[in-house]
Amino acid sequence: MTETPVLLATAGSAGLGAAVVRLFAKNGYRVVVNYAHNSERAAELIKELLVATNQVDDNAYISIQADLAIKNDVERLVKETISYMGRIDVVLSNGGWTRFTNMKSLDDNVSEDDWDRAFAINVKSHIWLLHAAKEALDISRGAYITTASIAGLSSNGSSLAYSVTKAAQIHMAKQLARMVGPRIRVNTVSPGLLLTEWAERFTDDQKEAHRQKTALKRFVNIDDVADQVLTLAKSSSTTGINVVVDAGYIL
C-alpha cells in the first residue's frame, strides 16, 4: 500500500469540492472525487488533475458515483475508495441540499419532502460517511472535514430547512469530534456566499446586497475556503471547531 495520502471528497466535481480537490492534488494527495449524476464533469476534472500535476499514475485520481442521500451508497463509496486507494487520510464531506423558499413565509417552509431531504443530505449523510470511513481514518490518524454554511449561524439562508439542518450539522460535528478522538480530527468550515453554480440561483440584486453587508465588501474567494480545508487537514492540534470564512458577513 502506497504511503501517498488520499483525499475523499464528496460532491467533489464542481464548486468548492473541485477547488479542494485541485488544491490537494497540487499538494501531493491522491484523490477520489465523488459525484451524484454528472459523470462527464467528474471525468473532465480527473483529466485536468492528471495534466496539471504531470501525474503518470492514471489511478492517482479517480471518480466514484454515489448518492449521499442513500446510506448504502455512502458505505459503498468508502469501500470502493479503500479498494482502489488502500487508505483514506482526509475526508471532505461536502454534500449539501436546499430548495429556495421565501424566508418571510411560514407557509412556504413546511414541505415535508424538503425537510426530509435537507436532513438526509445536510445532517445524516455526514454521520454516515464518518461512520463508514472511521476505521480507515483511525489507521491514518486522519481528518474529517464537513462543509456547512453561515446559514447555520444566522437567520438567513435559502430556506428554513437548510438553515436549521446546517445548524444541526455544525453542532453534530462538535459531538463527533469527541466520539472519534483521539486519533481522528473532526472540523467544519462555514463559507459565506461563493460565486459558484449555487450562487446562480440568487439575483444580481441579492448578491450585491450580500456583498455590501460584508465587512470586507467582497465575496468570499473559493480558494480561501479550500486553503482552510487544507489547513485543517494538516493541523494535528485542531478538532471540534467551525471555521467561518464569510468576509465578515455575520459580524
Enumerate the active-site residues.
162
* Window from 15-19, 95-99, 120-124, 234-238 with minimum mean pLDDT: 95-99
Please give the mean pLDDT across all residues of the chain.
95
Give the three cell numbers for residue 102: 421565501
Q: What is the mean pLDDT of residues 110-132?
A: 97
Domain range annotation of the chain: 6-245
Question: What does the alpha-carbon distance between residue 178 and residue 182 come to, in Å, rounded to a whole number?
Answer: 8
Strand (E) positions, the chain?
6-9, 30-35, 61-65, 90-93, 143-147, 185-191, 242-245
- Tell me how far apart the alpha carbons of residues 184 and 130 are, in angstroms, rounded to a whole number: 10
In this structure, are residues 190 and 150 in contact, taking their beta carbons and an 8 Å threshold?
yes
Cα 153 to Cα 119, 144, 244: the distances in Å are 17, 21, 9
206-233: pLDDT as tens digits: 889 899 999 999 999 999 999 999 999 9
Say if strands 61-65 and 90-93 run parallel, antiparallel, or are unpaired. Answer: unpaired
Cα–Cα dist 41/47, whole Å: 10
Q: Which class would CATH give 6-245?
A: alpha beta
pTM: 0.95
